[in-house]
Amino acid sequence: MFNKILIANRGEIACRIITTARKMGVKTVAVYSDADKQARHVKMADEAVHLGPSPSRESYLVSEKVIAAAKQTGAEAIHPGYGFLSENAEFCRLCEQENITFIGPPVAAIEAMGSKSAAKNIMEKAKVPLVPGYHGDEQSLEVIKQAADEMGYPVLLKAAAGGGGKGMRQIWHSDEFAEGFDAVKREALSSFGDDHLLVEKYLTAPRHVEIQVFCDSHGNAVYLFERDCSVQRRHQKVIEEAPAFAMPEALRQHMGEAAIKSAQAIGYVGAGTVEFLLNPNHENLEQSEFYFMEMNTRLQVEHPVTEMITGEDLVEWQLKVAAGQLLPKKQAQLSMTGHAFEARIYAEDPNNDFLPATGKLNYLNAPAESRFVRVDTGVEQGDEVSVFYDPMIAKLIVWDENRQRALTRLKQALTQYQVQGVTTNIEFLYNLANSEAFANEQIDTGFIEKHHDSLFPANNTLNANQTKIAAIKSALAFVVHNMQQQVKQSPWSQNTGFRLNQKNTLDVELKLDSTNDDVDFNRILLEFVKNQDGEYIFDVTFDSDVSTCQCSAMLQQQQLITTINGHHCSSTAVFENDLQTVHLFGEQGAFTFNRKTPDFGEASDSNANAGLTAPMNGTMVNVLVEANEQVKEGQALVIMEAMKMEHTIRAPKDGTVTALFYQAGDMVSGGAELIGFEAIDA
């Protein structure tokens, strides 16, 4: 076994690898960029080496710097994690030349699967079933479009060297093909340095099922069952589960054997994942058809669900196989128990097409870990989610004896995951896990689009009673916090609502931070009754209700303990914005309330600036219009790239472009005006 390994990655996967290496007595070396100087993986490792500036192309993606760090520290092997250099054949070759073990497959296997086109040719010869499509060398728009036209729409355009949902676009009609073709080429070149494309028939309601395979250098191969990864947005997985639901044993075995055949066709060694599209035959599931999609020559993001049901440590297996050892188990020795889910906690805005978010993690509280709950993360409270890397905060993994119980665990854990400072997808994940269709296994790759209205709270009527209770709790939090602070100062600075010969009443007016326009200001009157052992007691009137309720509240740091008409419960209250905003976390979910401030007529006119602004920091990829050009509503104006994704800015309505402020290649700050735009009055 190795004495020391270098981890050529960052974030949660670097921390994950360090955890196993430490358990095995293997020392670790972390690498880091300027942005990651104080990162969790740097603190966890035995040693750490600085690679360079924050952009990954100047640090984590520079093979020579990573190799130099390994030689400097005496690391015998390099674990690439996933992403970055994990599927880079040249990096693998460079490790070989420097006599450093690459903890992954051989160069030939990476090259074989590195191109989706070449991979499909290999699988075709190995008689692994393929989705109909074109994956030839001729790359002109005319040839690829002709293949798409002959197949019939919809089709899927994909970067041949792609992965992780990048460089991929659904094309629904022939007249959309040229725009999609250009966009995928740009994304492919930007993300992978290769703009080679393929096109295949887009199955409208398939499931995405992948098989975890493992091979050693002695000719042994096993599959560690399957994962269902059908719930996706922008072709990136959201919630994964293992084993796949509604999977007959005969079909599982058939797919597992096909996966091993795929791996052996390229002389594979190490951990890999063979991804299939499963076209379910609901009348007879055993006769369902499946098609090879791609093989990922690395450890997958969702590998923890496989670990939870098998009890195996896949990183430990990787180190042993890379060290030349036999696979720890044979196929007959592998078994699975129970069911596991993984939810990816991201800094992103689901209500804005899952736009990645940046910011500081001012408050971060994850659910307690146990044999049922696991949290893989690379961040801590106070860390920054930067524009330079993937915005994943953590992976939340749960396990229980069956799917129903595991799903209950997932919902409970999501209510306990509390993040403030950046917009997250936690509420969306809870809505998804709580969806009746998800519970009933009515799942395919179009799940989010099909169930859009039930998954996005902006389109739902909020539960009035829950909102009312949350508003009362928030008002209590504001007032009690204020009273606690004022008690510490002089009596003349107190703001407790005391009035001579009048009731001691405080008037709090709140606005729920929500995109639901039906939720208006909530006026809450709190009449102070008494203070007893740190507990403040009030008679509360909500809005125009005639009846009042008796409430009490205690605030101990961020723990808010309330009793409303005898109902005792605990929540977490996090204040910001000079105590004008409170984020309330509890069993009923997360709420944000803002105190209404007086309007002195100083608010700016929101329509004063009619220009279009950058949604976040990024790079201008292309400017598609000219100054003084008239455009139609929905027309693409500019294309930005941020956090490894392209974002197309479109005209909000018919109008005229009055000015252009950036050109292709320019760096753009979030909120910056991109285009001067004047709408045409109807």
Do 506 and 526 touch, CB atoms closer than 8 A?
yes
- Bigger pLDDT: 386 or 311? 311
Summarize the confidence of residues 306-319 as an average pLDDT.
98
- pTM (predicted TM-score): 0.81
Question: 117-161: per-residue pLDDT in tens?
Answer: 788 888 988 889 888 888 888 999 999 999 999 988 999 998 888
- Bigger pLDDT: 608 or 678? 678
Q: How many CA atoms lie within 13 A of 576 on its CB side?
A: 12
In angstroms, rounded to a whole number, what is the distance separating the alpha carbons of residues 339 and 341? 7
- The strand pairing partners of 206, in sequence order, are none
Q: How many CA atoms lie within 13 A of 339 on its CB side?
A: 17
In angstroms, rounded to a whole number, what is the distance separating the alpha carbons of residues 94 and 83? 18
Q: Which of 388-397, 403-412, 480-489, 671-680 has the lowest mean pLDDT?
A: 480-489
> Is the pLDDT assigned to residue 208 strictly greater than 90?
yes
- The strand pairing partners of 553, in sequence order, are 536, 562
Tokens matching residue 66: 């990573």
Do 449 and 468 touch, CB atoms closer than 8 A?
no
Q: Which domains does the chain have, with CATH numbers?
A: 4-103 (3.40.50.20), 132-201 (3.30.1490.20), 207-459 (3.30.470.20), 464-595 (3.30.700), 612-679 (2.40.50.100)
Q: Could you count the other beta carbons within 10 Å of the beta carbon of residue 369?
A: 11
pLDDT at 459: 47
> Is the pLDDT assigned to residue 165 strictly greater than 70?
no
Q: How many CA atoms lie within 13 A of 587 on its CB side?
A: 5
pLDDT at 494: 52
Closest to 560 in 3D by CA, of 568, 552, 574, 570: 570
In angstroms, rounded to a whole number, what is the distance separating the alpha carbons of residues 347 and 368? 21
pLDDT at 192: 77
353 Cβ contact partners less than 8 Å away, ≥ 6 residues apart: none
Q: Which of 127-131, 139-143, 393-397, 448-452 has the lowest mean pLDDT?
A: 127-131
Question: Omega before 598 cis (within 30°)?
Answer: no
Tokens matching residue 130: 């393929």
DSSP line for 235-255: TEEEEEEESPTT--HHHHHHH
Instruction: Calculate the alpha carbon distances from 231 to 39, 166, 208, 342, 393 in Å.
Output: 30, 16, 8, 11, 19
**DSSP conformational letter for 45:** S
Helix/strand/coil for 273: strand
Catalytic residues: 298
pLDDT at 461: 52
Summarize the confidence of residues 475-482 as an average pLDDT.
90
Do 458 and 516 touch, CB atoms closer than 8 A?
yes
Closest to 213 in 3D by CA, of 292, 131, 297, 89: 297
Q: Which of 140-144, 223-227, 357-361, 535-539 has the highest mean pLDDT?
A: 223-227
pLDDT at 397: 98
pLDDT at 585: 92
Closest to 536 in 3D by CA, of 575, 495, 483: 483
Summarize the confidence of residues 659-676 as an average pLDDT.
85
pLDDT at 63: 97
> Is the pLDDT assigned to residue 492 strictly greater than 70?
no
In angstroms, rounded to a whole number, what is the distance separating the alpha carbons of residues 502 and 496? 13
Q: How many CA atoms lie within 13 A of 286 on its CB side?
A: 4
Question: 613-657: per-residue pLDDT in tens?
Answer: 887 777 888 899 999 999 998 898 988 877 666 778 888 889 999
pLDDT at 604: 45
> Is the pLDDT assigned to residue 496 strictly greater than 70?
no
For 335, the enclosing helix (H) or strand (E) is none
Q: Could you count the other beta carbons within 10 Å of the beta carbon of residue 680?
A: 12
Summarize the confidence of residues 236-240 as an average pLDDT.
94
Say what the alpha-carbon torsion angle 279, 285, 289, 293 is, to the nearest 10 degrees. Answer: 60
- Bigger pLDDT: 280 or 396? 396
Question: 353-382: per-residue pLDDT in tens?
Answer: 888 888 999 999 999 999 999 999 999 999
In this prediction, residue 487 has a pLDDT band, given cuts at 50, 70 and 90, of low
Q: What percent of the chain has pLDDT over 70?
A: 91
In this prediction, residue 608 has a pLDDT band, given cuts at 50, 70 and 90, of very low
Do 635 and 651 touch, CB atoms closer than 8 A?
yes
> Is the pLDDT assigned to residue 609 strictly greater than 50?
no
Summarize the confidence of residues 488-497 as an average pLDDT.
54
The average confidence (pLDDT) of the chain is: 89
Summarize the confidence of residues 554-577 as an average pLDDT.
92
In angstroms, rounded to a whole number, what is the distance separating the alpha carbons of residues 86 and 102? 9
The one-letter amino acid code at 109 reads A
In this prediction, residue 387 has a pLDDT band, given cuts at 50, 70 and 90, of confident
